[in-house]
Structure 1
Amino acid sequence: MHKGGVPPPPVISDSDGQIFTHTHSNGSPPRLYQLWKGSNRFFLGGRLIFGPDFRSLFLTISLIVVPVILFCAFVSQRIVNEFPHHMGRVLVVFPVAFTAYIIFLLFLTSGRDPGIIPRNSHPPEPDDDLSWMSISWIGSQTGGPYLPPPVKEVIVNGMIIRVKYCQTCMLYRPPRCSHCSICNNCVERFDHHCPWVGQCIGKRNYRFFFMFIFSITFLCLYVFGFCWVNIRGIMFAYQCSLWKAFLKSPVSGILILYTFIVSWFVGGLTSFHLYLICSNQTTYENFRYRYDGKRNPYDVGCAGNFKEIFLSKIPHSRNNFRAQVDLESPSVSNSLSSHGRGTSQKNFDMEMEKQRPVDIEESGEIQVQIDSNGELERCRTQVRPASCESQSVIPTGTEKSLEGKEKTDGDH
């Protein structure tokens, strides 16, 4: 309850289209992550940000951890004895530590801001120079409220790049930026939305994403190789065939098959992104624009591209999700009101309508009068057909009263 016993005003959330009110026991204003209009999920008070499909992380972690547990429990015993001078123990401890490193990379990829661009509270102001605006767009907007043109041109490294206007975020997307339909955010240097990590891959987490898939490829090859070492040791120890060695260590056979399949999948993905890094492309650009035969304005050479991805400083997030938001500030009020003109505004109007009950019979009489007035107006404005000349439009309630009167006259 706020001061003076007045409840706080409703805040419209566009992420779910519902009306909710943020109240705190200590009376403090809500934080930015509590008013966030994207589809993200926040944890630890806004310190961790995930995509809406963050539950896929449990499947991804299990696909990494379970094979390593099986390797350490059923395959590592013979490897410890195969290598002298405690080398065997090191070879067994290494995949455990490396798996922990991979999980750490996974959370660096999925639990941080990938490069979300904050939304504007209102559309940008019209530019003085409208020469780049399409004629059809100007003609459609004459006499109405100002709407930004859908496309404008910017120059990047001497080349003209067309950037689009995002109707949701009310901003012109910077070059290499795209709006993710899953997270409902504009992401800087958008690569793709990865369902395996439950997050967009953008400018602030692409480095960790590549290190994550590269590390998984190396771990699969490691387990694959030492499972073959274990099978080979069984064949020499028991002087048996390959098939009998697999029967003596079935877990080794399962891990060999599993890591072989995963290595092709993750290894192919690593090779593809290695090519993208060398040519300074994103997955979105590669599938949409196809720079084959055209000059890529972002390509600065293989060495420069690697330096940009791995040696450049990761920019700070543009969003302080834990910052407190003043609901009474003009910018926040404009943002909520302008952004609530869609589904949220409809829900708000419906909610306000529910607070003012109307009698059912009264509403029915009002609707009948509206319908009858509409029919009379159409008959007056149009050429009178035979149906309008021969019949008069009478409200439903009046028709019933006339029928009852005629029946009474007939009885008399």
Structure 2
Amino acid sequence: MLSDESAAVIEATLPAVGEALDEITTRFYATMFAERPELLDGMFNRGNQASGAQRRALAGSIAAFAGALLADRDARPENLLGRIAHKHAAVGVTDDQYTIVHKYLFGAIAEVLGEAVTPEVAAAWDEVYWLMAAALVAREARLYLEAQVEPGRPWRQWTVVERREETPDVVSFLLRPADGRPAPAARAGQYVSVRVRMPDGVRQLRQYSLSSAPGTDVRRITVKRVHGGDAPEGEVSNLLHRTVREGDELTLSAPFGDVVLDDGDAPLMLVSAGIGCTPMVGMLARLAATGSTRPVHVLHADRSPADHALRTETHDLVERLPDARLVEWYESSADRGGPGARSGQMLLEGIDGPALPADATVYLCGPLPFMREIRGQLLRLGVPARHIRYEVFGPDLWLADAQS
């Protein structure tokens, strides 16, 4: 609970701090990595550092948490904290690293705001930071316990048993635990971190959804090559595409992620674009494996049928479900998409056949602009906001923005 004294200070200083957060987080990361370069080896995504995505997500999360405390000092923004905790556990964050972050973050605050950071201001924001850190540490401890891994050590070696070329830019890797022990428990919709050593010796992490049903010892991840020449954000996907073959080993984390298929019987809407289809295919595979009879609307948008990864498998899984319906939108070549394929952008209004169920649980995955647009369409169609869940590949800029 935020103290009365600190609440008054945070309320008075939040606008100024919020305006300076981008500069604060820029200095924070620059100073921390200059003095602790080992954190870029196997922990932080340098592609997100280069693009500024991690900086913006951190700034938004801090402002969102502070704002939530002011709105209700006894409450916590559970969506924000849960999402961050899962991301942290998937890369092996440990308790002591919060002390490191505190040192450099508050050093950056003092540098940027200067004399405005009085002892009272510093103490109030310190209280906010440690309230957020304590909440995350507790959640991450539970996640590590549930995953049956040591805190900060979620890693395990997996052997590639098959490599499948899905499209010219998408490849799937089927993996089995290299030690022969059973695969860890997973839920449909979760992701794993893949840790690889880059040519310069630095280890980098990326998250990939499990694109297969989680009930077997063979798991699948499906990786889209990120184009951009020498852009660092594509370095891991390009390395995996170029170098990983059957018989190789990959280092994977235990499965994490809070956007998972629920166990109820309410109608489902699985809405995706591009490589955002991967968690949806995992959910469909789970539904088919359990003989589900739930009504399911599967809606997907892509550039063309040839670019639609796991398209044939998606069609097969939909056919196996007794009350499932698939609608696809393609920017081009929709005529080659088969019966029912549509041209252009996804438009939910006017879909032929059964109406989209307003009581459905909706799962979204794809580029942020796509998800924002589809969420707006869903709200206009009467789907409650609380029924809409989404997965983001990378720092969650949407949640940070929405909470602020």
If the TM-score is normalised by the length of the shorter chain, which range does it land in? under 0.3
Decide which structure has greater strand share: 2
Decide which structure has greater helix share: 1
Q: Which has the larger radius of gyration?
A: 1
More relative contact order, 1 or 2 (CA 8 Å, 6+ apart) = 1
